[in-house]
């Protein structure tokens, strides 16, 4: 979450973190749809597809990820943070 919030300005942090949070929907889809897909194409095929997808995503992230342009601490809810 820190990676996402540092890339967005104070006015768009809520939207950025909300979009990031949608990743939980992907986890839910995997839990509920995984058995259905496994029943139709086979359990081993589901694991192989997931492994390939994770490797591809890891390579893409390793190639394209950059540090945030600013090292400013993201705005928080702490009333003492000024």
The model's pTM is: 0.56
* Count: domains in the chain: 1
DSSP state of 69: S
Q: What is the pLDDT along the chain (82 residues), one digit of tens a residue?
A: 666 777 777 788 888 888 888 877 888 888 898 899 999 999 999 889 989 999 999 999 899 887 777 656 656 666 665 5
In which domain, by residue range, is 42 found?
2-6+13-65
Question: What is the largest distance, in Å, between two alpha-carbon atoms of the chain?
Answer: 56
CA–CA dist 34, 29 (Å, integer): 7
- Residue 81 domain flag: no
d(CA 41, CA 48): 11
Please check whether residue 60 lies inside any domain of the structure: yes
Give me the count of residues in the chain.
82
Closest CA to 16 of 1, 37, 35, 32: 1
């Amino acid at each position: 979450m820190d990676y996402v919030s540092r890339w967005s300005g104070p006015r768009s942090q809520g939207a950025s973190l909300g979009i990031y949070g949608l990743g939980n929907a992907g986890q839910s889809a995997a839990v509920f749809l995984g058995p259905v897909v496994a029943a139709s194409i086979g359990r081993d095929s589901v694991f192989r597809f997931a492994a390939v997808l994770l490797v591809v995503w890891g390579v893409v992230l390793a190639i394209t990820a950059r540090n945030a342009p600013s090292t400013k601490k993201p705005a928080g809810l702490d009333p003492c943070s000024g």
